[in-house]
Amino acid sequence: DAGVIQSPRHEVTEMGQEVTLRCKPISGHDYLFWYRQTMMRGLELLIYFNNNVPIDDSGMPEDRFSAKMPNASFSTLKIQPSEPRDSAVYFCASSLARGRTEAFFGQGTRLTVV
Amino acid sequence: RKEVEQDPGPFNVPEGATVAFNCTYSNSASQSFFWYRQDCRKEPKLLMSVYSSGNEDGRFTAQLNRASQYISLLIRDSKLSDSATYLCVVTTSGGSYIPTFGRGTSLIVHP
């Protein structure tokens, strides 16, 4: 398996533009997580899915953020409109639906909003 | 109080030194514990799980103290390649096993 695949790796966009981040989890994994990492706040859980269903989106900063998982092999995180404070590295991770199983991370998308 | 707390460091040690990191967690219902390693501009990767009885993997030893709600990571004979950020991860079951990450402890091993 190729692991968790995220695209794009880097994104530079202007304030106000829509940004869509993409993730392909590891096949067979039941959970998918979206994290945001900044120097100030570390790794923050934004939202997670179980079997394609969003379970907890309490970490999503505001209504400008939305996430979908239309099928078991694809998820998106969308920011509309983007703001400079959204600049961060966004990680997608997946894991099996069991305790004591590790979460596998994608390489992340480095987002810069100017 | 944050759910998972770590000393951010940096810990600056010479090659060959032994270094230890601690991590405290606030939820007594936490069930699974891990140490992840994150290199600069890379994704976090699992270093090792932490078991109740303590466990060792080569130069790395992890321990769990449930009564005091902390976990530790000991690195012996530090190598230059150990330089990274070490993230403490706690998973609490409320029907779902959701990993919560600490901010990480930065380790710099110098010649």
As averages over each run of 10 residues, the pLDDT of chain A (114 residues) reads: 92 97 95 94 92 92 94 97 97 81 92 98
Residue B22 sits at the chain A interface (C-beta within 8 Å): no
For the ranges A12-21, B49-58, B90-99, the lowest mean pLDDT is seen at B90-99
Q: Which residue has the higher pLDDT, B36 or B29?
A: B36
Residues 6 or more apart whose CB falls under 8 angstroms from that of B47 comprise B34, B35, B36, B37, B60, B73, B86
- Asked whether the beta carbons of residue B98 and residue A48 sit closer than 8 angstroms, the reply is yes
Is residue A109 a contact partner of residue A48, using CB atoms and an 8 Å limit?
A: no
Q: Is the pLDDT of residue B96 over 70?
A: no
Among candidates B46, B101, B103 on the partner chain, residue whose Cβ is nearest the Cβ of A102 = B46
CA distance B55 to B52: 8
Residue A99: the pLDDT is 57
Q: B51: nearest CA in chain A?
A: A100
> What's A101's DSSP letter?
P
Q: Is the pLDDT of residue B43 over 70?
A: yes
The pLDDT-based confidence of B31 (bands split at 50, 70, 90) is confident
A99 contacts in chain B (CB < 8 Å) = 31-32, 91, 93, 97
B49 contacts in chain A (CB < 8 Å) = 100, 102
CA distance A100 to A97: 10
Query: Strand runs (DSSP E) across A57-108, as ranges?
Result: 65-71, 74-79, 88-95, 104-105
